[in-house]
Structure 1
């Protein structure tokens, strides 16, 4: 798919994600809106996957380390054909397999359970190293939050990836500048990220993570080192009153806010 087609799908995903969070009465909508363009480009263009064979041995691996944005992943997986789109309506309901964090034992297309921050990248390094050891051709991608990059386990994994020469690994940092309760700059500001990753021996691309024309080529980059994409995004992207507002890390719109958001997202379709 071309960027324009991907942009349309991303807008559809945003609208469905908003509806699911509103109906469930819970969710991490701000970070979901910021990461949706990245997820859409991955699943509808970049990843080599077979929705009817979610455990195909040649599939590319994807880890959503910022697992609290699971609803966005569920909407994308359903739209891609991993399970019926109607099932998104069960998000967070009793006995639903669509929980607040992804579960690989329940949801087709989920590679590993995530939620505790700082775990996804180390797991992805293991997946990439396993491919090197076995001679497998799959590529491993992982998305972390920028606040999550404060976790020391990530930097241990970054060192290991460079040491092992994991050119089959792509780390995408959703750099929306906010974490739960505060701006990144007010907690433990790890920006700028690019020079830090480069100092650890990685190739680094710095892009607008909400612009498909920049997302697509960055995801398709291949070099001789592990690759990090610092994706500058907007928390709550696409919804005026949510954008770049820390309150919307974990918050549900009321009826009036929901109607405004639906109108804004629908007009963009």
Structure 2
């Protein structure tokens, strides 16, 4: 099993990323250490996650302690919506690099398609990619109408990554296939939908987890991977991180993939309208 997938520009990304939202230094050190013990070096952060500064510190420490080099890590952060509307795209990017203590990021994403701003802001993000300070660039929370506006504009760089909420209750099949047709790799946040009761107590998922001798989170994460969608797995428990990443060894049958897809309800766990009017 290949544990990496290539973006359209040739940059390779691990098939699972680790989320860092809300983690302090001590938790992040244990989580990152657990992830790399399983061979996964990809981490997702953002300015409002509070973890940028800690993530950069942890990466430097692990490089010193274990001899890793910067190129071993895939670090992804984002452009906050407040910086979009305040015309602070370049300043926000430079501040993220400063907090991380890095000369470049492997991926820089626009966190929200803020109305009247996101196309203009994308043009500024393209400059970070052209300069090499961002090895890839992408977007988050784009719906069909945002893509339509995007591709009818004069953007120079087609996004390499699209990050959206995907899980068995929200399969986003049309969006996923659209992005594939454009060579855009999709990342899934909330990939196990916080294990809400509709997931945790689901008879189909429980039955398949029993069939494959795995946990429901492992089953769902591998479902994402086999759809060529990169899940962003988050836990503050390092043992759970290790368990989740062990999903790699599973192989779900085509029929069981279909069975999971049928659970779709277009259910959205995260309500975004507070941070992106008109979303």
TM-score interval w.r.t. the shorter chain? 0.3 to 0.5
- TM-score (ref. length: structure 2): 0.35
- TM-score (ref. length: structure 1): 0.35
- Larger gyration radius, structure 1 or structure 2: 2
Greater RCO, 1 or 2 (C-alpha within 8 Å, sep 6+): 1
